[in-house]
Amino acid sequence: MPASDLVSRSALAVVDLLTRGEVTPLDCLEALESRIGLVDKDVNALPTVDFDRARRAAKATMARPPAERGALKGLPVAIKDLTDVAGMRTTYGSPIFADHVPEASDPLVERLESESGVIYAKTNTPEFGAGANTFNEVFGATVNPWNTAMSAAGSSGGSAVALATGTAWLAHGSDLGGSLRNPASFCGIVGMRPSPGRVACLPGVPLDRQLSVQGPMARNVEDCAFFLDCLSGEDIRDPVSLPKPETSYLGLTRSGWKPKRIAFSADLGITPVDPEVAEICRKAALRFAEAGAIVEEAHPDFTGAHDAFNVLRAKNFAISKKALLDAKRDLLKPEVIWNIEKGLALTMEDHVRAETRRAELYRNTLDFFEDHDILCTPATIVPPFPVGNRYVESCNGVKFDNYVHWLAIAYAITLVSCPAISLPCGFTKSGLPVGLQIVARPRGDARALAAAKTLEEVLALDTTKPILPRKG
């Protein structure tokens, strides 16, 4: 089978070919290696590849009887460069770790490999995932394949670009303030922030943090659901991890469940939005009516979300990165230093205020979902911006007071522990993708996926086939 034909197929279609023995894991790796050679020089999505390691894993999978191969059947999977893969260069996007090769893998990598996933590449990320634009001092910038003069967003920008350009069928991402959803929106692919604990990982410190989660990225909703099945499950090393559900997420996505009452909000009452993006997302959300849903404009009360998120984010940076600030300050980028120092300056009064407000926001959200099945918003408030801009400084006449404020429409959802999916929903007049954020109640991952599948079928956008990078 020609490499171009294989890379254009969905992950589930390739797994089916692997199951039937029509292709092998080695065929898949050969197709990816060819595609990477063709396109990655123009986008820089996969700065680290290890096909020797991958071929050893592929051969080990092929040596097992078909019935003993895991769900992935030897399908290659790309891992974000914030997550350890044993024996594979893992830099976290930082010069401090430019030559770091972990001895052990993160639990989520172990789980994927137990399902016969073949790890072949690390996807680019900003330093320690800080900043929604994928660039770092180790590998440089990852650019948007729809217009290579534009940003791919971040911090899972490399994963999104690899999917969009056909150098991955499935790619892992992580998300704190939109790090998975923003790149999905900018690159025209599907990205899911699952409920906290749904994907077990090595949590580090603080041990019980729930703002940052790991999640699946794919080219369509069913592939995303399948990947979540492969990623999910309990692990004693992660104290907030959840058991694998009895029914698969792919099965629940295909169940035929449809939302009956949809809320749409362009801004959640807390952020400016680019008017073109708002209109594209509103029109897409209204099309849920074609599947029998009532669609109305509404949202939970998110008053105080900015302050709560800023405090909790800064606290996490201070706890997890203070030692690096003390030892390697000169090698850290300004945004990382800013986050750590903000955290170190917090008072107990700041902590009390943020935690109290977050609890209130959570209760508001639970009440809201008593009357609504799904909440829809823009996944990102702007279309892709020039890659040379470190972040979005203003939107629709409003100037932001820090480098994360423009991410509020995503981090508000983070604060209330809801699963959320960025689904391609249209294009700007200049041809750049826009994503709709589809949010379900806490632990309503299956509902979010089923609703996204419903709208994906209604919209019928041609975004599932990989594209060649387009010069700006």
> What are residue 258's phi and psi, to 5 degrees?
-130, 140
- Overall pTM > 0.85: yes
Q: Is 430 tagged catalytic?
A: no
> What are residue 471's phi and psi, to 5 degrees?
-65, 140
Give me the residue spans of the domains in the chain: 3-459
Tens-digit pLDDT profile for residues 382-398: 999 999 999 999 999 99
Q: Is 80 tagged catalytic?
A: yes
- DSSP-based three-state secondary structure for 103: coil
Catalytic residue, from 10, 73, 80, 105: name it: 80
Instruction: List per-residue pLDDT tens for the chain, 472 residues long.
Output: 676 799 999 999 999 999 999 999 999 999 999 999 999 999 999 999 999 999 999 999 999 998 899 999 999 999 999 999 999 999 999 999 999 999 999 999 999 999 999 999 999 999 999 989 999 999 999 999 999 999 999 999 999 999 999 999 999 999 999 999 999 999 999 999 999 999 999 988 888 888 999 999 999 999 999 999 999 999 999 999 999 999 999 999 999 999 999 999 999 999 999 999 999 999 999 999 999 999 999 999 999 999 999 999 999 999 999 999 999 999 999 999 999 999 999 999 999 999 999 999 999 999 999 999 999 999 999 999 999 999 999 999 999 999 999 999 999 999 999 999 999 999 999 999 999 999 999 999 999 999 999 999 999 998 899 999 999 8
CB atoms within 10 A of CB 209: 18
Topology of the domain comprising 3-459? Amidase signature (AS) enzymes (3.90.1300)
Give burial (CB, 10 Å; 0-12/13-18/19+) of 86: middle
Tens-digit pLDDT profile for residues 245-280: 999 999 999 999 999 999 999 999 999 999 999 999
Tens-digit pLDDT profile for residues 268-313: 999 999 999 999 999 999 999 999 999 999 999 999 999 999 999 9
Catalytic residue, from 94, 174, 179, 195: name it: 179
Q: Could you tell me whether strands 420-427 and 433-439 are parallel, antiparallel, or unpaired per DSSP bridges?
A: antiparallel
Catalytic residue, from 94, 151, 155, 265: name it: 155
pLDDT at 3: 64
Q: Is 179 tagged catalytic?
A: yes
